[in-house]
């Protein structure tokens, strides 16, 4: 734990920066994460600034930290992702503790006039809990937030990610200075090991152990790599941290560098994350300009610098040896292990590779001591984990909960419940949740009360992965879900090992047969055998985990597979080749064209009245669909 007498504020400037922020009388923070930007938050900010000037309200959109401290009436700023993506664009007003949701540019004039000038609340812009009907004033009252334990994500919604002064004012880089000036490398490794921090990228390997192995490895040159190549469908946790709190990643890498004796670091970011790339580049440049990166960091003998590198979007480059190959300029393909990167990594030198969330957690541990993470979580998985909550759930967004939190809490308390086909809450609508993306598995109703941590999920053949949670209701065909993830894995296979390259291709072909109605008695057996071979014999983690969605759906939804193969029927009605057509009563005018086209007489009804189809007699020839001019049959 940092002691203020042993380790004063990182620089004299920090106190000044804090004074500048403290001089702000009222602050309006607009969420400028990717989700809210897509919903128009930047236009909201323009409209807000224009409304302030229209009503004669002095407003600053950029604080001048080099000037003497003077009172700032209103500071209009941006933040990273605030998490509540479903309700964006989001506008927070401090110190009033007000959070307005779904804000549009045309709302800004009223916000300035009624809230900023008169101090009134605009109830129609406040969040109304659909379950209780309660109108919530701000974050402290909204169940989506109150059921979480936000630590890594907390600064993402409050500080300007492009302003290093705000990060410094909040105590940023104090942990790095303490580690560099007052701690020996082995002491840092021991602290991280004692904290119980496990890699948040999915594998859950003890971070302190990985650092210690790198520290004691022979070699004068060592490297630090931050893996920001987040490629799982439905996952956007690392992206949001890089967008909203990039300096925490830089600071975590600095501490790791001191721990293992590295002088060079790389942040490997997907090129599909332009905002994350932009914010990480600026964070590195600003840290360098403040003397926090480069030669003689904090005036010590320690030197460390960071390079931002964009990946070309290959999912396999999330695997550490493939990532190293990409940085070295080679094709991103995995290498056999051992040797592990801690022994022989980038340029053949010992290398630490951790993901974004792991590095962002490190400063919290150095600042608060080894017991920081153990305040929440489980004994074997202390601390919190970020998840991207998407799919058929009321509140989609970015969340952070303690390890050991159950799916029931996440889906129903934080997520607000499962939505049905009509988009409304369906208390009995839950069918499954895909956790961990293509590397993970489907969990069912029987797992709703399972504590989510590394070991409990591993015990049922699943994994946390990067943290994607895709909720599915009863309208979802689980065979199609398995096929979707298999197609993703097959497309992303680097092709280096024949087991993955050909095995995933064959599994995809078998799943195609099933959803197209061409499966037979031997299809399931062959699918299971192939899945086991791919999982056992593939070279890297991508290939070994590629069959996981298939294996888990075969285990939990065997009846659905059999319905496709034996009954030639898709229970969810999603597989067109196996779905019986149905007539939409509100669109059918009773023209009888469908009756005349049906070869088995399965369609009946009075003329000029809605018709109906006898599902038992229908042979799914879909001739009726072809002749219906009103598209009343689907």
pLDDT(580) > 90: no
- When pLDDT is averaged across residues 542-571 and rounded to a whole number, the result is 92
**Strand 430-435, strand 441-443: pairing:** antiparallel
Give mean pLDDT, residues 163-179: 95
550 in Cβ contact with 527 (< 8 Å): yes
136-157 confidence digits (pLDDT tens): 999 999 999 999 999 999 999 8
Cα–Cα dist 311/271, whole Å: 6
Instruction: Output the DSSP codes for 192-243.
Output: HHHHT-B-TTTT--BHHHHHHHHHHSS-S--EEEEEE---STT--HHHHHHH
Confidence grade of residue 373 (pLDDT, cut at 50, 70, 90): very high
What separation in angstroms does the CA of 445 have from each of 161, 408, 457, 470, 483? 39, 9, 15, 14, 21
Task: Compute the distance between CA of residue 572 and CA of residue 586 in angstroms, rounded to an integer.
Answer: 22
Q: Which CATH superfamily is domain 164-373 in?
A: NADH-ubiquinone oxidoreductase 51kDa subunit (3.40.50.11540)
Residue 11 pLDDT grade (very low, low, confident, very high; cuts 50, 70, 90): low
Provide the residue ranges of all domains of the chain, joining segments of one domain with +.
Answer: 12-141, 164-373, 384-476, 479-565, 581-634
User: What distance in Å separates the CA atoms of residue 383 and residue 151, rounded to the nearest whole number?
Assistant: 9
Best CATH choice for the domain 479-565 from the list 3.60.20.10, 1.20.1440.230, 3.30.1330.10, 3.20.20.140: 1.20.1440.230
Q: Determine the Cα–Cα distance for residues 28 and 117; give it in Å rounded to an integer.
A: 13
The whole-chain average pLDDT of the chain stands at: 92
CA nearest to 329, candidates 316, 347, 344, 343: 347
Task: For 445-462, write each residue's pLDDT tens digit.
Answer: 999 999 999 999 988 888
Q: Is the CB of residue 490 less than 8 Å from the CB of residue 505? A: yes
pLDDT exceeds 60 at position 575: yes
**What tens digit of pLDDT does each residue of 313-356 get?**
788 888 899 999 999 999 999 998 999 999 999 999 999 999 99
How far is Cα 542 from Cα 540, in angstroms, rounded to an integer? 6
DSSP state of 347: G
**Residues 61-75, mean pLDDT to the nearest whole number:** 87
At 296-306, the pLDDT tens digits run 999 899 999 99
Contact 418, 426 (CB under 8 A): yes
Confidence label for 609 from pLDDT (cuts 50, 70 and 90): very high
- What are the tens digits of pLDDT across the range 397-432? 999 999 999 999 999 999 999 999 888 899 999 999
DSSP 463-521: --TT-EEEEEETT--HHHHHHHHHHHHHHH---SSHHHHHHHHHHHHHHHHHHTT---H
Phi, psi of 438 (to 5 degrees): -65, -20
Q: How far apart are CA 297 and CA 284, in angstroms?
A: 13
* SS3 call for 299: helix
The answer to which of 8-17, 451-460, 550-559 has the lowest mean pLDDT is: 8-17
Backbone angles phi, psi at 474, to 5 degrees: -70, -10
Residue 8 has pLDDT above 60, yes or no: no
What integer pLDDT is reported at residue 69 of this predicted model?
A: 79
- Quote the pLDDT of residue 10: 44
365: helix, strand or coil = helix
User: What confidence tier does 573 reach under pLDDT thresholds 50, 70, 90?
Assistant: confident
Give me the helix-helix angle, 207-216 and 246-260, nearest 10°.
40
pTM exceeds cut of 0.95: no
The pLDDT value given to residue 2: 52
What CA–CA distance (Å, rounded) separates 461 from 439?
Answer: 11
Closest listed residue to residue 308, CA positions, set 372, 384, 229: 229
Query: Which residue reads 């993506």 in tokens?
Result: 85
pLDDT for the residue numbered 12? 63
Is the Cβ–Cβ distance between 454 and 380 less than 8 Å?
yes
Average pLDDT over residues 539-561: 92
| Residue with token string 């308390």 | 413
For 422, residues 6+ apart whose C-beta sits below 8 A from its C-beta are none
- Using 50, 70 and 90 to split pLDDT, how confident is the model at 4? very low
Q: What is the pLDDT of residue 409?
A: 96
ω before 335 within 30° of 0 (cis)? no
User: Residue 202: which of 545, 464, 489 has the closest Cα?
Assistant: 464
Structure tokens at 198: 């496990």
- Express as a percent the part of the chain with pLDDT over 90: 77
Least confident of 191-195, 529-533, 624-628: 624-628
Whether domain 581-634 has CATH 3.30.70.20:
yes
> Is it true that domain 12-141 has CATH number 3.40.30.10?
yes
| Alpha-carbon separation of residue 517 from 371, 534, 550, 570, 600 (angstroms) | 56, 25, 18, 9, 20
CA dist 562 to 431, 520, 525, 572, Å?
Answer: 17, 9, 12, 13
In the CATH scheme, what architecture does the domain 384-476 have? Roll (3.10)
């Amino acid at each position: 734990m940092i002691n203020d007498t042993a380790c004063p504020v990182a620089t004299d400037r920090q106190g000044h920066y804090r004074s500048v922020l403290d001089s702000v009388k009222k602050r309006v923070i607009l969420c400028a994460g990717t989700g809210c930007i897509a919903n128009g938050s930047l236009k909201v900010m323009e409209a807000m600034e224009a409304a302030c000037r229209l009503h004669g309200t002095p407003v600053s959109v950029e604080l001048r930290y080099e000037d003497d401290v003077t009172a700032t009436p209103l500071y209009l700023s941006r933040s990273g992702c605030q998490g509540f993506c479903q309700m964006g664009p989001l506008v927070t007003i401090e110190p009033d503790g007000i959070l307005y949701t779904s804000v549009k540019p045309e709302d800004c004039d009223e916000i300035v006039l009624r809230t900023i000038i008169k101090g009134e609340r605009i109830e129609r812009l406040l969040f109304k809990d659909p379950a209780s009907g309660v109108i919530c004033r701000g974050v402290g009252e909204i169940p989506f937030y109150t059921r979480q334990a936000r630590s890594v994500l907390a600064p993402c919604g409050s500080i300007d990610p492009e302003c290093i002064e705000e990060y410094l004012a909040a105590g940023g880089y104090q942990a790095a200075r303490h580690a560099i000036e007052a701690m020996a490398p082995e002491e840092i490794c021991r602290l991280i090991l004692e904290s119980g921090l496990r890699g948040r990228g999915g594998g859950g390997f003890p971070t302190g152990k990985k650092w210690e192995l790198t520290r004691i490895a022979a070699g004068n040159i060592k490297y630090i790599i931050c893996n920001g190549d987040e490629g799982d469908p439905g996952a956007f946790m690392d992206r949001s941290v890089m967008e909203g709190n990039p300096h925490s990643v830089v600071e975590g890498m600095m501490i790791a560098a001191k721990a293992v004796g590295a002088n060079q670091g790389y942040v490997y970011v997907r090129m599909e994350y332009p905002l994350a790339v932009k914010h990480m580049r600026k964070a590195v440049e600003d840290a360098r300009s403040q003397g926090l990166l480069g030669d003689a960091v904090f005036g010590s003998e320690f030197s460390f610098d960071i390079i931002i590198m964009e990946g070309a979007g290959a999912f396999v480059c999330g695997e550490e040896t493939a990532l190293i190959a990409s940085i070295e300029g080679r094709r991103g393909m995995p290498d056999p292990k051992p040797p592990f990167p801690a022994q022989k990594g980038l340029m053949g030198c010992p290398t630490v590779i951790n993901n974004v969330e792991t590095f962002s957690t490190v400063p919290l541990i150095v600042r608060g001591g080894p017991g920081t993470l153990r305040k929440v979580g489980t004994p074997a998985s202390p601390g919190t984990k970020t998840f991207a909550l998407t799919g058929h759930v009321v509140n989609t967004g970015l969340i952070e909960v303690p390890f050991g939190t159950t799916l029931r809490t996440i889906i129903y308390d934080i997520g607000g419940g499962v939505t049905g086909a009509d988009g409304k809450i369906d208390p009995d609508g839950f069918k499954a949740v895909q956790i961990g993306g293509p590397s993970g598995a489907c969990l069912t109703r029987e797992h709703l009360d399972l504590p989510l941590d590394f070991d409990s999920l591993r015990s049922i053949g699943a994994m946390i992965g990067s943290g994607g949670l895709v909720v599915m209701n009863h309208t979802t065909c689980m065979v199609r879900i398995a096929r979707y993830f298999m197609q993703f894995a097959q497309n992303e296979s680097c092709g280096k090992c024949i087991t993955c390259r050909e095995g995933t291709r064959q599994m995809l072909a078998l799943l195609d047969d099933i959803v197209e109605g061409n499966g037979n008695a031997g299809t399931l057996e062959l699918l299971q055998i192939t899945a086991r071979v791919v999982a056992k014999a593939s070279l890297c983690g991508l290939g070994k985990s590629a069959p996981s969605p298939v294996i888990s759906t075969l285990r939990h939804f065997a009846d659905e597979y059999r319905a496709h193969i034996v009954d030639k029927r898709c229970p969810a009605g999603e597989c067109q080749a196996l779905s019986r057509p149905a007539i939409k009563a509100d669109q059918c005018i009773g023209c009888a064209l469908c009756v005349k086209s049906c070869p088995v007489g399965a369609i009946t009804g009075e003329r000029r009245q809605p018709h109906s189809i006898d599902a038992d007699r229908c042979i799914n020839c879909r001739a009726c669909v072809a002749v219906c001019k009103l598209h009343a049959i689907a």
